[in-house]
Amino acid sequence: MASLPDTFLAPKTWGQAYLPASGQVCPLPSIKLLLLPMSSIVIIDYGVGNIHSAMKGLKRFASDVVLSEDPAVIRAASALVLPGQGAFEAGMEGLRKRGLIDEVKNAGKSGKPILGICLGAQLLLERGHEFGDWEGLGFMQGEVVRFPALKNEKTPHMGWNSIHTPAAGLRPAGWKGTPLEGLKEGSEMYFIHSYILQPKNPEHVIAETTYGGLTFPSVIGTGNIIGCQFHPEKSGETGLQILKQFVEMAA
């Protein structure tokens, strides 16, 4: 963040420039950046639901949680949270209209921790097929598809269900090193969704859930990127533990 000159004259219009005694004109940092904590978690406000419940959950463990759609504020964050409920197309359009797609992509490439929740988790993949065929953020190869016909169950999948380490045995360390570390096998989380995560690489599946006879990925991730299909902020103390450990990752 830009620092104040040793001596300066107040600019005629706040937001335009500093006018140091030397006469040199310097850009003025955004007021939002001046007020932003040095280390902050930014919840991306991109016009979808579930924003405020995510904010409430994260604020239990961090005082420096900021809700913003400002690219400069997002760029300065120490970690990002992409929450949301709704359609894949609406989520990507919300990011596009605010000029945030490249900001989020660049943050992920830089190693900044990113947590996607529900729709936010779906946007982490390459493509979504809800009401068409839409390009996602592409942090992981794969797509988001509708639940197939299920045995004795209806969609949306709504309510409490358990999460498990992948049956394929690709995670011998279990959930160690992820925000799920320390959770019990079979922990119950709150779901509401009609589309499911389908990453191409099975190593990107962190947890699985079974509904109507179908086992699907309920947590995906790679490196600094993680996505939960369920709502940790609505999943009681167990779900809040995931948020707590994500905050610790971002510290």
Q: What positions carry a catalytic annotation? A: 118, 231, 233
Q: How far is Cα 29 from Cα 36, in angstroms, rounded to an integer?
A: 11
Measured between alpha carbons, how far is 73 from 229 in angstroms, rounded to an integer? 26
Backbone angles phi, psi at 86, to 5 degrees: 135, -165
- Residue 83 Cα distances to 53, 124, 230, 246, angstroms: 9, 11, 11, 14
Q: Phi and psi (nearest 5°) for 159?
A: 125, -165
Q: What is the C-alpha radius of gyration for the chain, rounded to an integer number of angstroms?
A: 20
Q: Using the structure block, give the residue that is written with the tokens 């004795």.
A: 152
CA distances from 149 to 78, 156, 190, 211, 248 (A): 41, 11, 21, 11, 40
**Count of helices and strands (H, E) across the chain:** 7, 16
d(CA 220, CA 131): 23
Using an 8 Å Cβ cutoff, are 180 and 207 in contact? yes
DSSP string, 188-207: EEEEEESEEEEESSGGGEEE
